[in-house]
Amino acid sequence: MKKKGKIKMVILGIVIFLVVGMGGALLFTEGERREGKNLPIDNVDFKRLDDGTYIGEYEGGKYKWRANKAKVTIKSNKITDIEIIEDKVSNTTEIKNKLFQRVIEKQSLQVDTISGATITSKAYLKSIENALKKTKEK
């Protein structure tokens, strides 16, 4: 009986440790997540884009976890290609492909973010926006 009681106490201790640890992690990252969810994506007049290739970057928020740099290609005043050339987030190929396809199809930054990757999607959109703003700096 004593052995079962010790095992239960160890399991309970592990569960409490995990719950407290996860709660702490959520509190620690709350500012970064809130900043990312509220990141404004400005309207860009896609009808006035100058042809060329432009680089834009997003610093990545409070902890720089989502910092990235985008290369945007414009031909005939339309975005034809978007590529992330620097990225702090790994394993996001599917997210990037879906998001960039939406931007290219709609020729707009006002697209739905990828479910489950809202903050990362907004970080990519911000770097694209910053690249597009450079079309007027020529």
Cα–Cα distance for residue pair 135/54, rounded to 1 Å: 7
DSSP-based three-state secondary structure for 73: strand
Cα–Cα distance for residue pair 104/123, rounded to 1 Å: 17
pLDDT value of position 74? 94
Cα–Cα distance for residue pair 32/64, rounded to 1 Å: 9
Give, as one character, the DSSP assignment of residue 89. S
| Phi, psi dihedrals of residue 118, rounded to the nearest 5° | -60, -50
pLDDT value of position 70? 95
The neighbouring-strand residues paired with 75 are: 78
pLDDT at 40 over 90: no
Cα–Cα distance for residue pair 123/118, rounded to 1 Å: 9
Longest dimension (CA), the chain: 79
Q: How confident is the model at residue 109 (pLDDT cuts 50, 70, 90)?
A: very high
Percentage of the chain modeled with pLDDT above 70? 85
Query: pTM for this structure?
Result: 0.75
> Pairing between strand 68-75 and 78-87?
antiparallel
